[in-house]
Amino acid sequence: MGWGLSRSVRIEDEPLGKSEIYDKFEDESRPVREMFVTTEEMDKASLLRKDRDYCAHLFMDIMKCRREWFPEYYKCRPVVEKYQHCTVNDIKHRMLEYERTKRLMAREKQRLAIEAN
Amino acid sequence: MSLLRASSSILRKVVGISKVQSCAPTLNVLSKRFYDPDPTPPVYDQSLIEGEDLICLLDSSEILSPEKKARLALKYGLIPEDYHPMNDHDFNLGDYPHLPAESVLERDPHYDWDDPFYRRNYGEPISVDVDLYSPLILDTRPLPHDPQQQYRVLFGALFSCFFLWWLGGKYRTNLPRGPKQYPEHYPSDEILHSWEWDSFEKRGLEPKLKERTPVTNYTLEKYKWNPAAH
Amino acid sequence: MMVGIVKLILIYLPFLMSSILFNKSLVNMKSMKINSFMFLMFSLLLFLNSNNGVSMIGMGWMNMKFVLSWDFYSIVFIFIGMSVTWSILNFAQWYMGAEVKNGTFNSFLFLFLMFMFILTSSVNLVFLLIGWEGVGIMSFLLINWWFGRGEAGLSGIQAMVYNRIGDFFIYIGIFFFLSSLSEVVMLSFFFNMEYMVNNLILIFLLIGMMAKSSLFFFQPWLPNAMEGPTPVSALLHSSTMVVAGVYLMCRLVGMFNLTVLGVVGLIGALTMLYGSVCALMQPDMKKIIAHSTTSQLGLMVVTLGFGYPFISFLHMGMHAYIKSLIFISSGVFIHGTMNLQDFRKMKMGSISSKFSMYCMFFCSLSLGGFPFLAGFYSKDSILENMYGSFLNSFLSLVVILGSVMTVVYSFKLMYLVLFFNNNDGSFSVKLEGQESFNSTFFFMSRLFLGGISGGFFFMWSIFLVMGEEYISWYLKVIPLMILFFGLLVGLILVPSKMLVAPVFNLLYYNPVVHRITLFMFYRSIKIMKYIEFFGMEILWVSHLKKIPLLSSLFNGFVTYKNYFFFCIVGLLLLMFLF
């Protein structure tokens, strides 16, 4: 829906595929992203690497639910929906991070141009 | 090609042979080596063919006289009009006839062939590429439509698809995303992203690589997301 | 947990009882099949319940470990393959039980499946080649099972040659892997390895998979493979051979970077368009189904190109159930019409059961994506996740277009079955229909369950967490719109016989593509002939005989001793050179 127009044509202005730039513009005054389970709890649940993200607590809920209602997995539907909601928010957060980094890159470029002049 | 020919001529000079063997070597070595208790009659024994009946070399500068052409055509069971020697066509195969490059599938399937599967009569000369033009390998039957037009249509459609693909890659419809954030940092992640290979043995031997460090990430939201509210 | 297991046993109690009671001994063939299937099902459910990652059994030396892995992909594939092949074997017993060498045929089918399981369960790329090559050989042997016919032999060799091309490319890819990474175990590829591998290696591997799965530019062998018996086609198209390439791509897609993923998507899109247009214009019943397989494989590969191997794998499983049942019911039709496949001739009426008719009808609907049938779940997931992927917008358009065409050719098949099948004729016709129903119901009903309600089972028990985004309602109804639009188009076009017009028949392009693909081979054969001529042929080489030192080389023919000697010398030379 017009999202494609927001992108710059020049690839050097985009933070696409440059993972170092995100660390460069990190701001520590922002509120800390909260993790609901500890590393030890995730170890006990034997989660895989790809599942150890900020939705891990809901993923563990799903696994517990599956274990509880063994053949009747359809009872876990509300838990799964919660997990999906969390993943959607995670993706939204990633998009916001991308946009923020892109704007900061543009601002830095502008600043460098002024300094050079 | 020319290099190989030159090298062969040089070899000939080095070895000291000026006389060129005119006919192909016979197979009598083989027939002598193996005892055949039920020998084929001498007329049918191919190894006993000698002299002019073998495939002979032709001089490429020489123009064939009609008499010689008729004689050679008779040797291979052809009429003189159909006979074109393979002499110096691709590489020198002597007076063996140059047959049309067509699969046997092109021949009439309803004719009473001596060999109906390969569609061939007895005594008919065999193409040099007989293995290629066998009915199981190659099908050179004419296509139902004009092949040139078909090539045009096919490649036109293909390249228009390539162009649209390139265009679709240029103008994407969705927002790009940043990398996924994790609450902990594994040293092995860096190894996987580098050019060095991370083997299971190495990771098992070095307990340092198993150690994880917590990572703090930051949100853009002023208020935290409450799952109970949704 | 315990209550759940008791419930599960209660559900499957009739199966177990039938396997024990209705046979005289436990070592009976039938009860063995049932018991092995039950064992697999039980292990699958235990695996799902425990949520462990991977368990492996194997041995080896250095990097060359022959490992049979018991991970998600392999165990789900074994479950699908077993349940499909069980029915197909029964079908083969019914369809060609009167023919000679029936036992050999069954053992070939088993071997085919065994090689496929080796392929799916090995995580080492080198040992995977055992299954890869074995599948190719068994497909060759089974496609020209009726080897007395020239066409069968031709199509068998065609399949073999195409697979050879792909095999050589995949060999080169694996050699590159070994030389650059010194590791061929695929388990690490689940992680993100985007910057590790050169694009060229990935393209080599991709070409190998293209040839195996008959994707674009390698597709002509698949419709020609219809020369084989119908059980072979059912097995070949559903759970072995053609899905091998897609399966391997599912495993390796973790290391494909965005550039190669774009190429993967392009190939899938081209295959999907080509296959669906071919299927639209076919008058032959089996060829429609073959081309529909091509288009569905294209859909799977497009999904891989979007970066969703999980959903692609789900579609593969659903497609296995649906396509094997469609093939089996088409086999029942062909049996009833005395080996007629052209549906223009089927107007006379065919002798078959109503049940096979319903099977074909509902499975075509399911393939088209009718809500809450098996194909709906996978196709809906593909279409929903497609909007969220950061990839080509052209490919999403092609997927929607191809889905509409899928519905149209499924409608064509349904129309064929419903309106051309008049078996309310004489009493004997009805009797034979009843007979075929009696003998085919038991194996078709199992697949019918899988093809209709398998989606629900797979979605909610095995592939639990699927969609990562909620989408708005107008995107949510796109699959339904596709279905209705496709049915409308089919309703307009199919009865007016526009889809049989030979002018638009894209099958005429198959020989063209075939000749383009083999053109390079003729060139290389030409070069090989030059090498052969100057390396082995007469004339100037024969003069070397006169040198006493070399005379032992050219004494008529090369013995094994000479051959061995020169191999050793050559290898030593190579070793010292590099």
Q: How far apart are CA C72 and CA A60, in angstroms?
A: 18
- Is the domain of C483 the same as that of C515? no
Alpha helix (H) residue ranges in chain B: 2-15, 28-33, 66-75, 147-170, 187-193, 200-205
CB pairs below 8 Å between B and C: how many?
A: 106
B23-37 confidence digits (pLDDT tens): 554 444 444 455 666
The shortest CB-CB distance from A80 to any of C1, C388, C464 is to C464
A14-60 confidence digits (pLDDT tens): 787 677 888 888 888 888 888 899 989 988 887 877 788 899 999 99
Structural domain tally of chain C? 4
Mean pLDDT calculated for residue range B118-144: 80
| Residue B79 falls inside a structural domain | no
| Residue C131 falls inside a structural domain | no
Residue C317 has pLDDT above 80, yes or no: yes
Mean pLDDT calculated for residue range C168-178: 85
| Residue C444 falls inside a structural domain | yes
Q: Which residue has the higher pLDDT, C418 or C359?
A: C359
- Is the domain of C413 the same as that of C379? yes
- Is the domain of C434 the same as that of C556? no
Q: Check if C60 contacts B (Cβ < 8 Å).
A: no
- Is the domain of C490 the same as that of C352? yes
Q: How far apart are CA C44 and CA C526, in angstroms?
A: 53
Where b means 16+ CB within 10 Å and e means fewer, C162-171 reads bbebbbebbe
Residue C545 has pLDDT above 70, yes or no: no
- CA C319-A63-C461 angle, 5° bins: 25
Q: Check if B173 contacts A (Cβ < 8 Å).
A: yes
- Is the domain of C334 the same as that of C354? yes
Kindly list the residues from chain B whose CB atom is less than 8 angstroms away from the CB atom of residue C269.
161, 165
| Residue B162 falls inside a structural domain | yes
pLDDT given for residue C503 in this prediction: 55
C471-507 confidence digits (pLDDT tens): 677 778 888 899 999 999 888 887 776 666 555 566 6
pTM: 0.77
pLDDT given for residue A13 in this prediction: 78
Mean pLDDT over each residue of chain A, to the nearest integer: 82
- Is the domain of C323 the same as that of C447? yes
> Which range, of B96-105, C135-144, C364-373, averages the lowest pLDDT?
B96-105
C343-355 confidence digits (pLDDT tens): 666 654 555 667 8
pLDDT given for residue C562 in this prediction: 58
Neighbours of chain C (3+ CB pairs under 8 A): A, B
Domain span holding position C530: 505-537
Which residues are within 8 A (CB) of A23 and not within 5 positions of it... i.e. 6 or more apart? none
Tokens of A38: 């500890």
Mean pLDDT calculated for residue range C364-376: 89
User: Do A95 and B178 lie within an 8 Å CB cutoff?
Assistant: yes
- Is the domain of C520 the same as that of C552? no
Kindly list the residues from chain B whose CB atom is less than 8 angstroms away from the CB atom of residue A31.
218-219, 221-222, 224
User: Do A85 and B175 lie within an 8 Å CB cutoff?
Assistant: no
- Is the domain of C465 the same as that of C569? no
* Side chain identity, residue C207: I
pLDDT given for residue A1 in this prediction: 38
Highest mean pLDDT among B91-105, B216-230, C16-30, C417-431: B91-105
Residue B196 has pLDDT above 50, yes or no: no
The ipTM (two decimal places) reads 0.84
- Is the domain of C437 the same as that of C524? no
Residue whose entry in the numeric block shows the structure tokens 């030593």: C572
pLDDT given for residue C247 in this prediction: 93
Q: Check if C504 contacts B (Cβ < 8 Å).
A: no
The minimum CA-CA distance between B29 and chain C, rounded to whole Å, is 7
User: Do C543 and B17 lie within an 8 Å CB cutoff?
Assistant: yes
Domain span holding position B160: 143-171
Nearest-CA residue of chain B relative to A43? B212
Residue C21 has pLDDT above 70, yes or no: no
Neighbours of chain A (3+ CB pairs under 8 A): B, C
Mean pLDDT calculated for residue range B172-197: 68
User: Do C51 and A63 lie within an 8 Å CB cutoff?
Assistant: yes
> Which range, of B226-230, C291-295, C340-344, averages the lowest pLDDT?
B226-230
| Residue B131 falls inside a structural domain | no
Mean pLDDT calculated for residue range B106-126: 87
The minimum CA-CA distance between A117 and chain C, rounded to whole Å, is 38
The shortest CB-CB distance from B178 to any of A28, A53, A98 is to A98
- DSSP structural state of residue B179: P
Q: How far apart are CA C198 and CA C381, in angstroms?
A: 31
The H or E element containing residue C173 is helix C150-181
By percentage, how much of chain C surpasses pLDDT 90? 18
pLDDT given for residue B90 in this prediction: 54
The shortest CB-CB distance from A97 to any of B178, B212, B224 is to B178
Among candidate residues A63, A99, A68, A108, the one with its CA nearest the CA of residue A83: A63
Kindly list the residues from chain B whose CB atom is less than 8 angstroms away from the CB atom of residue A53.
180-183
| Residue B138 falls inside a structural domain | no
- Is the domain of C439 the same as that of C400? yes
Kindly list the residues from chain B whose CB atom is less than 8 angstroms away from the CB atom of residue C512.
143, 147, 150-151, 154
The shortest CB-CB distance from C530 to any of B17, B91, B164 is to B91
462-501 in C: which are within 8 Å (CB) of A? 464-465, 467-470
Domain closes at, from B151, B171, B191? B171
Listed as own residue / partner, the contacts of B186-189 with beta carbons closer than 8 Å and 24 or more positions apart are B186/A49, B186/B212, B187/B211
User: Do B183 and A52 lie within an 8 Å CB cutoff?
Assistant: yes
Structural domain tally of chain B? 2
Nearest-CA residue of chain C relative to A60? C51
Query: Would you call C61 helix, strand, or coil by DSSP?
Result: strand
Q: Check if C10 contacts A (Cβ < 8 Å).
A: no
| Residue B156 falls inside a structural domain | yes
Instruction: State phi, psi for C218 to the nearest 5 degrees.
Output: -125, 15
pLDDT given for residue C326 in this prediction: 92
Domain boundaries, chain A: 35-116
For residue A45, CA distances in Å to A17, C188, C210, C530 come to 32, 22, 40, 66
The shortest CB-CB distance from A52 to any of B182, B217, B224 is to B182
| Residue C355 falls inside a structural domain | yes
- Is the domain of C531 the same as that of C578? no
